[in-house]
Structure 1
């Protein structure tokens, strides 16, 4: 499955399950860990768990089993690692605290600039 197809699948799952404030970040030029991050909010711990479990199930069903999941049992912040795509699902208060969108949108420090400092 191509990364764009996987991204569409995950966005459809999140939309169907009423995830809130879904955002997609292209982080290919910022990290080698993944190509895209999707961040979404759930309305309760139960909703966060259900979103993460369904994302993992539907990806596996489509032939892209997750490399791992974290935080699903707790339900405040769940992560589903789909290799080229990492999905973060959080309660709004946790999302506001960590503010991943701001973190990953910060300009990358260029190596030559780092050497000057």
Structure 2
């Protein structure tokens, strides 16, 4: 079970590398695979790699284990699987095309005060 501090920390990590339009979706009770999706846009494959590298470095410091990273070679859509949290770092085209926010429209958006 992830804490608010860990979830907020993950959002901050992607924003450190200028990830845009970060949205955290609560999928508890909707998905059997994970509890949260963090979806973020990177402007280029270079930026997506930088965001992913930052996540790989800093998530373990928050006590969040990375199980696997997929898509890093092409870096158009990188998936960082942390078990209870799955992070999607996508180019604008990929994000618009797959529209995960609409696909998971029943999910609540998590906000931090």
Q: TM-score, normalised by structure 2?
A: 0.87
Verify the 8 A CA contact 2:6 2:63 in the aligned structure 1: no
Verify the 8 A CA contact 1:78 1:90 in the aligned structure 2: yes
| Partner-residue secondary structure (3-state), 1:40 | strand
| Partner-residue secondary structure (3-state), 1:64 | coil
Instruction: Give the equivalent residue in structure 2 for 1:76.
Output: 76
RMSD over aligned Cα atoms: 1.6
Instruction: Give the equivalent residue in structure 2 for 1:88.
Output: 88
Note the C-alpha offset of 1:5.
2.0
Q: Any idea what the Cα deviations from partners look like across 1:87-115, whole Å, max 9, x if unmatched?
A: 000000000000000001158xxxxxxxx
**Greater helix share, structure number:** 1
- Look at both structures and tell me which one has the larger radius of gyration over its CA atoms: 1
Number of positions where the alignment pairs a residue of Structure 1 with one of Structure 2: 107
- Long gaps (5+) in structure 2: 108-113
Q: Which has the higher contact order (CA 8 A, sep 6+)?
A: 2
- Long gaps (5+) in structure 1: 108-117
Note the C-alpha offset of 1:75.
0.8
Distance 1:3 1:70 in 2: 24
Distance 1:26 1:44 in 2: 27
Find runs of 4+ consecutive structure 1 residues off by over 4 angstroms: none
